[in-house]
Amino acid sequence: MHLIRLLSVFLLLAFSTVAAFAFPNGLIRATSVGCTCHGGANTATSLSIPGRSGTITAKTGETLSLSLMVAHSSNSAAGMNLAVVNASDVNVGTLIAGAGSQLLSGELTHTSPQSLSGGSVSFPFQWTAPSTPGTYTLRAVGNAVNRDGSTSGDVWNSLAPITITVEPNVPTSFSISGRIVNPSGVAVQEAIVTDGTRSAVTDTQGNYTITGVPNGTYTLTAARINWTFSPTTIAVTVNGANLTGQNFTGTRLWAVTGTITTPAGVAVSDVIVTVGSSTATTDAQGRYTLWLANGSYIVRAARINWTFSPATQAVSVAGADVAGQNFTGTRLWAVTGTITNPAGVVVPDVIVTVGSSTATTDAQGRYTLWLANGSYTIRAARINWTFTPATQTLSVVGADIAGQNFTGTRLWAVTGSVQNPNGVGVSGVTLTAGSSTATTDAQGNYTLWLANGTYTLTPSRISWTFSPATSMFTVASTDVQVPRITGMLMSSVRTFGENTGVSVYPNPATEFTIVSYTTSSPKRIRYEVYSSLGELMRTFEESRPAGTHRFMLPLENLASGAYYCRIRSSEGMLGTVSIIVQP
C-alpha cells in the first residue's frame, strides 16, 4: 500500500513537470485554439505585428518581411505559433523562419523559449504570397512564461486576426520595341532610341527594345551621328501592355564642307550657310560643315552686313563627302541719311539707289544702304517729287558713312489741252513753265509736274500761233487744270502762193508730185507734209548742193484733200506750197 502511494506521487510530479515545460521546442496547430495547457487566454500577454494591423495587401508572389512581437510586463521568456490560412483553415503561401523561430508543417513556432528584453521579444519572419489571388488570415498565439518549472504564472494570448488580401501581380512596367532601316530596307544598327528617360541601341538587324517603361505618354526619338531619321519623333502611349512596331527610317548624311574668306584671304567667321532647312555656321577659321543626304542642292551663305560670291553654289551628294564649297565674303558698310521737305518735314517711301542697291525711307524719312568699299553716286526718287541735290557722290573706305541727306519737294500735276479753232487737239506743242516742259500728245493733252509757286505757261510750235500767248497760274499744294489753249497754223493759202521760189507739178496729184526749188549754197533739206488741220503727216530729208533741184514727193496712202508742203533748211524756211491730193 505504501509503495502504491509513492508511485502515485511520482506520477503526479512527473505530469506536473511535463505540463510546466510543455512544448519547449515549439508547437503547431495552436493558432486557432490557443495554449490550453497553460490555462485560459490572458490579456497580460499581448501580441502584435508592428506596423501592420487590420488588412495587409500583397501581390501574388510578393514576399513580405514581418515580425511578431510577444510582450509581458514581468515574465522572462516567450514562445509562439504563427500561420497564414485560407477560409478552409489550410496553410497558404510560404513562411520563412527568422531568428528564434522554425518552420514545422507550414507553420512557424519557436525553437526554444526566447528571452524578453524590456518586456517584449520579436520573432522576425517572411511570407511569400501564393500565386492565387484571394483573402487570407494571419493568426498567431504566444505564451509568456516565468521559467519556474510549472505552468503557474505562465500567460498566453492570441493575436487579433489580420486579413491579407492578395491581388493579381499586374506588371507596372512594359517595353517599347521597333526596327530602324534605311530607305532601301537595310537594317540600321547602333542607332540610339530614347523615350526621354530610357534608351536602347539597335542591334545588327536594326531592332531595339526599351524596357522598364511605366504606363504613360512618351515621345520616341532616334539618333546616330551623321544620320537623320523619319519620322523625327513618334508619340506613344503605354497602357498596361508592351508596344511593338515603333519603326523609323534612317538616312545616311554626308559632309559638305567649305571655307569662307574675304577677297584678301582672311577667314570670315559666323557666316550662316544654308541648304534648305539645314544650316551651319563658319568657325574662327571660316570653315563650315553641312550634313546632307544624297541629292542635288543649292548652297547659300549669309551674314548681316556682308555679301557673298558666288551668291549660290549647286552641289550634288552621291554617297560621299563633298569638299571645296567655298565662298568669298565682302564686308558691307552702312550709308545712312534722312530726306525731308524744305520745311523739315520727313518724307517717307523715297527710293534711294546706288547702282543695283536700293533702300526706302521709313516713317522718319531715314534710309540705310549697305555698300562695300568703293566710290558711288546716290540718287533719290519718288513719283511726283523732285530732290536736291539730284545726286551725291561718296567713297566708302572701311567705315559707315552718315549724313547723306536730300531735300524733297512735292510736285503737283498741271494739266490742260491745246486745240485748233475746230476743237481738234494739236499735237507736238511744247508747253513751258519755268524750267519744266511738256509736249502735247496726239489728242493735244499735256501734263506738267511743278512745285508750289506761281508760273507763266508758254505754248510754242513752229508756224503756229496760240491764244492766249501765255497763261498765269499758281500751284498751292494741289493739282491745277489750265484753261484750254487755241492754236492756229500761221501760213495761209495766199501766203503759199507768194513763195514763187518753190513750185509743185502736177497739182492736183495722186501718187506723187515734183517739188522744185533753188538753193544758193549746199544745204540739208527737210520736206514736211501737213494736213489742212496742221497735223504733220510725213517728213523726208536729204542733202543738196547749190542750184535748182527737184524732189519727187510721195503722196500714196494720203486721203483726198488739201495738204501743205513746207521746205526748210538748217538756215531757215525756203518756202511752202499747197498740194491737192485726188483719188
CATH number, residue 478: 2.60.40.1120
**In CATH, what number is assigned to the domain containing residue 199?**
2.60.40.10
In-domain check, residue 261: yes
Q: Indicate if 55 and 162 belong to the same structural domain.
A: yes
Supply the pTM of this predicted model: 0.48
Q: Indicate if 85 and 162 belong to the same structural domain.
A: yes
Instruction: Compute the half-sphere exposure of residue 63: CA atoms within 13 Å on the CB side of its CA.
Output: 7
Answer whether residue 130 shows pLDDT above 90.
yes
Per-residue model confidence as pLDDT tens digits over 46-86: 999 998 877 999 999 999 999 999 999 999 999 999 999 99
227 forms beta bridges with 252
Sequential DSSP letters for 244-297: ----EEEEE-EEEEEEEE-TT--B--S-EEEETTEEEE--TTSEEEEEE-SEEE
Question: Residue 18 carries which DSSP code?
Answer: H
Answer whether residue 138 shows pLDDT above 50.
yes
Q: Report how many domains make up the chain.
A: 6
Range of the domain at 378: 333-407
Q: Indicate if 35 and 157 belong to the same structural domain.
A: yes
Answer whether residue 150 shows pLDDT above 90.
no
Q: Indicate if 422 and 515 belong to the same structural domain.
A: no
Q: 26 with 104: CB under 8 angstroms?
A: yes
Mean pLDDT of 268-275: 97
Q: 192 with 84: CB under 8 angstroms?
A: no
Q: Indicate if 34 and 142 belong to the same structural domain.
A: yes
Label residue 188 exposed, middle or buried (CB < 10 Å: 0-12, 13-18, 19+): buried
Q: Indicate if 478 and 377 belong to the same structural domain.
A: no
Query: What are the grid coordinates assigned to 190, written together?
Result: 547602333
Per-residue model confidence as pLDDT tens digits over 232-243: 999 999 999 999
Q: Indicate if 216 and 295 belong to the same structural domain.
A: no
Distance CA 171, CA 61 (A): 12
**In CATH, what number is assigned to the domain containing residue 503?**
2.60.40.1930
pLDDT at 39: 66
Q: Indicate if 238 and 262 belong to the same structural domain.
A: no
Mean pLDDT of 521-549: 90
Confidence of residue 490 (pLDDT cuts 50, 70, 90): low
Work out the mean pLDDT of the chain and round it to a whole number. Answer: 90
Answer whether residue 14 shows pLDDT above 80.
no
> Of all residues in the chain, what percent are helix, strand and coil, respectively (each to 5)?
5, 55, 40
In-domain check, residue 393: yes
In-domain check, residue 123: yes
**In CATH, what number is assigned to the domain containing residue 118?**
2.60.40.4060
In-domain check, residue 545: yes
Distance CA 302, CA 348 (A): 28
E strand intervals along 86-240: 94-97, 101-104, 107-110, 114-115, 120-128, 134-145, 155-158, 162-167, 173-181, 192-194, 199-201, 207-214, 216-223, 227-230, 233-238
Q: Indicate if 85 and 205 belong to the same structural domain.
A: no
In-domain check, residue 295: yes
User: Which of residues 458, 489, 520 is at a domain's end?
Assistant: 489
Query: What are the grid coordinates assigned to 128, written together?
Result: 511569400
In-domain check, residue 5: no
Query: What are the grid coordinates assigned to 437, written together?
Result: 516742259
- Name, in order, each residue with C-beta under 8 angstroms of 436's C-beta and a sequence gap of 6 or more: 448, 449, 450
- Name, in order, each residue with C-beta under 8 angstroms of 88's C-beta and a sequence gap of 6 or more: none
Indicate the Cα dihedral angle 269, 271, 272, 274, nearest 10°.
-110
Q: Residue for cell digits 508750289?
A: 452
Q: Residue for cell digits 503526479?
A: 12
User: Which of residues 468, 489, 510 is at a domain's end?
Assistant: 489
Q: Indicate if 424 and 324 belong to the same structural domain.
A: no
Q: Indicate if 103 and 213 belong to the same structural domain.
A: no
pLDDT at 534: 78
pLDDT at 500: 42
Q: Indicate if 373 and 479 belong to the same structural domain.
A: no
* Bigger pLDDT: 571 vs 391: 391
User: Which of residues 142, 167, 192 is at a domain's end?
Assistant: 167
Length of the chain: 583
In-domain check, residue 9: no
Label residue 65 exposed, middle or buried (CB < 10 Å: 0-12, 13-18, 19+): exposed
- The b/e string for 285-297 (b: 16+ C-beta within 10 A; e otherwise) is ebebebbbeeeeb
In-domain check, residue 16: no
Mean pLDDT of 113-134: 96
